[in-house]
Amino acid sequence: MKKLINAPEDVVREELEGLALAHAGMVRVSLDPYMVVRADAPVLGKVALVSGGGSGHEPMHGGFVGAGMLDAACPGEVFTSPTPDQILAATKAVDGGAGVLHIVKNYTGDILNFEMAAELAREEGIEVEAVVVADDVAVRDSLYTAGRRGVGATVLAEKLCGAAAAEGRPLKEVADVCRHVNDFARSMGMALTSCVTPSAGRPTFDLGEDEMEIGIGIHGEPGRERMKVAPADDIVALLAGPVVEDLPFRAGDSVLAFVNGLGGTPLIELYIVYRELHRFLAGRGILVGRNLVGSYITSLEMAGCSITLLKLDDELARLWDAPVVTPGLRWGA
């Protein structure tokens, strides 16, 4: 497969070098170990937010480092978790004395590496809390699986917790915001095409020219169902239906509606999806209080989208509107 890269083994390093050059005012980048750190870190007296995961989901997480969002991101190799020594280094680099929140997506590798890092950081006297985000309704949550995957709600949690931390709130309260987001957000995605990891150089999964995968994961994990491609409006119903039923979101609820592109879908199509999502929700008496449309948590060049809904209250709406200055998300400043 054609890719705009130099060599597969250089992809993550070269991306980080580019990010550093493009956004020198917002972030500092370390190449050994890999980390993206807020330019003015550590911010004394502020709870610091650290997230991370495999690369390939840009702008998440490195693009969300900056004022009002993350203090550091730890990128692993493509679709591979970062390592504990790397997460520890980031945790130490941003600790401003008020403790550090680890925002972890629910994947076994991410959880194990962040757990080990948190143990090491605590041994060095840093207060660390970790919250796991698990919002993908495509996965049946059961004792017999690794549980729901962390997807779109992660972006929202990072923004909202970043705002709470910027207000000077203590670690426990910032962690509570994250837990609240996880409790009240649900997501589901779909793919029109597979992603292609640079090292493999071929599609992660085979999908026919006329097929789509409903419930896809952000690493190309299989979803609930494979079916014939349908019009955008039908796809919205296939995604938003299970999302609404799961929480459930009810008539009278106000939501943040997040239509996310998976990397290979143009904005023109995402707005077509948003148009129908808005109509779909209105038909159920659900009010869209805030929205986000764009490609924020991606799966390399996968074509497709995900829909995330978060039940809003005044407090979350206020945190959402607070200023944010990062490479990937910027407003109010």
Q: What residues act catalytically?
A: 57, 219
Of the pair 239, 319, the CB lying nearest another protein is at: 239
Q: Which residue of 7, 21, 45, 144 would you call a contact of another protein, by CB under 8 A?
A: 144
Would you count residue 108 as binding another protein (CB under 8 A)? yes
Q: How far is the CB of 109 from another protein (least distance, A)?
A: 4
Which residues sit opposite 136 in a β-bridge? 187
Q: What is the dihedral of CA 293, 262, 8, 55, to 10 degrees?
A: 70
Q: How far is the CB of 110 from another protein (least distance, A)?
A: 9
Q: Phi/psi at 214 (nearest 5 deg)?
A: -95, 130
Of the pair 24, 146, the CB lying nearest another protein is at: 146
Would you count residue 81 as binding another protein (CB under 8 A)? yes
Contact 303, 196 (CB under 8 A): no
CA 64 → CA 15, 157, 304, distances in Å? Answer: 15, 11, 22
Contact 108, 146 (CB under 8 A): yes
Q: Phi/psi at 182 (nearest 5 deg)?
A: -65, -35
Q: What is the Cα–Cα distance from 30 to 8, expressed in whole angstroms? A: 20
Of the pair 83, 154, the CB lying nearest another protein is at: 83
Would you count residue 204 as binding another protein (CB under 8 A)? yes
Q: Which stretch binds another protein (CB under 8 A): 17-25, 38-46, 137-145, 277-285?
A: 137-145
Number of residues engaging another protein in binding (CB under 8 A): 32
Site residues (CB under 8 A) for another protein?
Answer: 76-77, 79-86, 107-109, 112-113, 115-116, 139-140, 143-146, 149, 197, 199-200, 204, 217, 219, 221-222
